[in-house]
Chains A and B, each alone.
Chain A
Amino acid sequence: MTVESGMASARVDLEQGSGDNMILNMGPQHPSTHGVLRLVIELDGEEVRRCDADMGYLHRGVEKLLEVHDYRGGITLTDRMDYTSGPSNNMGYLMAIEKLMGITDDIPLRARYLRTAVAELSRLAAHHIWLGTHGLDIGAMSAFLWSLREREKILYLFEEACGARLTTSFMRVGGTGPHDVGDQWLDNVEAFLNGYTLDEIDALLTENEVFIERTRDVGLITQEQALSYGLTGPVIRGSGIAWDLRKAQPYAAYDLVDFEVPVFTEGDVYARYLVRLNEMYQSKRIIGQCVEALRDLPLDAPSNVDLPQVVPPDIGRVPVDMEAMINHFKLVMHGVQPPPGESYFGIENPKGELGFYFVSDGTGMPYRCHVRSPSFVNLSIIEEISVGSLIADVVAIIGSVDIVLGEVDR
């Protein structure tokens, strides 16, 4: 006897299970799987005996597509992976190309601060989605509404800076590209920060008896497991490992700002909740410092590298300056052309380490681009830690690992 659904791979042979156990299909259309994840769960009563994750429902072949887009065109594909934090994905992609080209150290300070601020804003935005839906999964409805209200304000800031809320395609190789911001935007960010508080949500959940009951000692991840499964991001910091790429290998302006990395040692769902909540306070701190630093920079501080083969000339110069026209033409026709070689660069995305591995053959399109997606790697632990837990706890565990299926499936 088999339980079948659309995909042949999803076939689970009941006879392989242990007798009377029940096979339960959770997803792909299930609100608590945060997208289109499908879990095939073997249940003994309410206890999970086996859990198989089935993914790929959102697979769009991003890596194949990146091979036929020039480096600039690829930006638009990256924010569609982890769509809760588009700008942050853009940064990872851009900085990986800059590393491949060897121009990381030339990026002007203005762009570095702005990237840091925008990456932290998108961390807040992503964590607000997580906070809301995680609460919702466990039964706290109000947190969801309040959380998304705050996220909305951040999306307005993105829209003001680059014209898009979700799929931002923020910035370009070599600096901010056309997306430099003015004082008005900095004012708005400051106003947002002044009005920003997590206290309401904090008061709703952190001391909430029901919430603690549902999350403490649930979904335990030991340090050894966290290392072996290659976990990164808040998940590993909830298991007592103070690993954060922003501190360990600072990029953008993270070495210039002051912040702490929250770490909790319990390794349960509640610890991961606390890590992310505290991380949001730290993000607020970082954004404030970046805004201040951006204000202190002189008005004419460059926001792009001074390399004509990377950054297009000022469009006003193109009709009147022969050299500008040639550079503009070459950049439009051939794009950015990194020298042949390979490199890997990872950033601390809201979900964990987002890495891009590039192989360049010297042309305007990457020979190969691999995306190391944090959600994909973090998801693998679910199959192990949900065994032995109750079915209701699986929902809490998925929420605490915080995956985005757009990034898992790519």
Chain B
Amino acid sequence: MLVPAASPTLAPENVLERIRQHAGTAYLGGRVDHGDPVAEVAPQAFPALFPAVRDDSDLKLEQLVDVTAVHWPLDEGREFQVLWQFRSLTNNLFARVTARLADGASVASATGTYASALYLEREVFDLFGIRFAGHPNLKRILLPEGYEGHPLRKEYPLEGPTFPEDAHRNDLVGQLDPDDFWADVDEANGT
């Protein structure tokens, strides 16, 4: 039976320090954000970083809890921030590792180390179009195959690509001439 530590065995700063040692030159910086250690690394740190942080006995980040991404379309050349969130159950630790990618670039898959990446990476691929090199079955998971576009990109319209443009409420508001509007109101009121 695995009994987790009652409280974290390492301070967030020390978690960052361990990750820095494993990532080597690929380590770009780290900070403690809202109490969580957040390390930024270059994409080439993967996939070597995955088994390193899992097998390090001080860290023991046994679980890849979450993989997701954030789209920053204005940040040219590094549009995507991919993040991997790890947990160590034994040591009661949490860590977030992020990497910035250019649109169209791919990053190494974590599936060789963590089986949870099988679904999580497919989800990121589905919704953002980020490719994970080495994933055995990288295809859409939530949306049907043949669906066009990746909805969580910022340029993807909320209503979907086939929604008539002039039906967009915000567009109407933008195009509406206030004088016309009040003229219509007067006409409707018969004044």
B141 touches A357 (CB 8 A): no
B92 touches A249 (CB 8 A): yes
Contacts of A384 in B (CB 8 A): 115
Cα–Cα, bound, A408→B143 (Å): 12
B1 touches A346 (CB 8 A): no
Cα–Cα, bound, A65→B151 (Å): 11
**Which residue in chain B gives the minimum CB-CB distance to A357?**
B68
Partner of B1 from A229, A240, A342 at Cβ < 8 Å: A240
Segment of B21-29, B117-125, B177-185 engaged in the interface with chain A: B117-125
Interface size class on chain A is: 35 or more
A225 touches B143 (CB 8 A): no
> Can you list, as one digit per residue, whether each of A7-38 has a CB less than 8 Å from chain B (1) or not (0)?
11100000000000000000000000000000
A56 touches B141 (CB 8 A): yes
**Which residue in chain A gives the minimum CB-CB distance to B3?**
A242
- Interface centre among A8, A343, A370, A384, by most chain B C-beta atoms within 10 angstroms, is A370
Partner of B119 from A242, A370, A376 at Cβ < 8 Å: A376
A344 touches B119 (CB 8 A): no
CB distance from A101 to the nearest CB of B (A): 10
Cα–Cα, bound, A346→B35 (Å): 13
> Can you list, as one digit per residue, whether each of B105-141 has a CB less than 8 Å from chain A (1) or not (0)?
0000000011110111001000100000000000111
- Interface centre among B38, B83, B116, B118, by most chain A C-beta atoms within 10 angstroms, is B116
Cα–Cα, bound, A230→B119 (Å): 11
Contacts of A240 in B (CB 8 A): 1-2
| With known contacts A99-B34, A359-B70, A228–B116 Cβ distance under 8 A | yes
B70 touches A367 (CB 8 A): yes
> In this assembly, does A248 line the interface, its C-beta being within 8 Å of a C-beta of chain B?
yes
A9 touches B139 (CB 8 A): yes
> In this assembly, does B176 line the interface, its C-beta being within 8 Å of a C-beta of chain A?
no
Cα–Cα, bound, A90→B115 (Å): 29
Contacts of A263 in B (CB 8 A): 1
CB-CB nearest 10 A-B residue pairs: A230-B116, A9-B145, A343-B34, A56-B142, A228-B115, A380-B119, A370-B68, A227-B62, A372-B66, A241-B2
User: Residues of B with Cβ closer than 8 Å to A?
Assistant: 1-4, 6, 33-34, 36, 38, 62-66, 68, 70-71, 83, 85, 89, 92, 96, 113-116, 118-120, 123, 127, 139-146, 151-152, 156, 158
Known A228-B115, A380-B116; further 15 A-B contacts with Cβ < 8 A? A7-B145, A8-B145, A8-B146, A56-B140, A56-B143, A99-B34, A232-B65, A241-B2, A243-B2, A249-B92, A343-B34, A343-B36, A346-B65, A372-B85, A376-B119
